[in-house]
Chain A
Amino acid sequence: DQQVKQNSPSLSVQEGRISILNCDYTNSMFDYFLWYKKYPAEGPTFLISISSIKDKNEDGRFTVFLNKSAKHLSLHIVPSQPGDSAVYFCAACSPGNQFYFGTGTSLTVIP
Chain B
Amino acid sequence: ETGVTQTPRHLVMGMTNKKSLKCEQHLGHNAMYWYKQSAKKPLELMFVYSLEERVENNSVPSRFSPECPNSSHLFLHLHTLQPEDSALYLCASSQAHGYTEAFFGQGTRLTVV
Contact = CB atoms under 8 A, between A and B. Distances in A.
Contacts of A34: 101
Interface residues of A, number: 26
A44 B90 contact: yes
Interface residues of B, number: 21
A43 B98 contact: no
A41 interface: yes
A43 B33 CA distance: 13
Contacts, number: 48
A46 B4 contact: no
Contacts of A91: 43
23 contacts: A4-B42, A9-B40, A34-B101, A42-B106, A42-B107, A43-B90, A43-B105, A43-B106, A44-B104, A45-B103, A45-B104, A46-B102, A49-B101, A51-B99, A89-B43, A91-B43, A96-B98, A98-B45, A98-B56, A98-B58, A99-B45, A103-B40, A103-B42
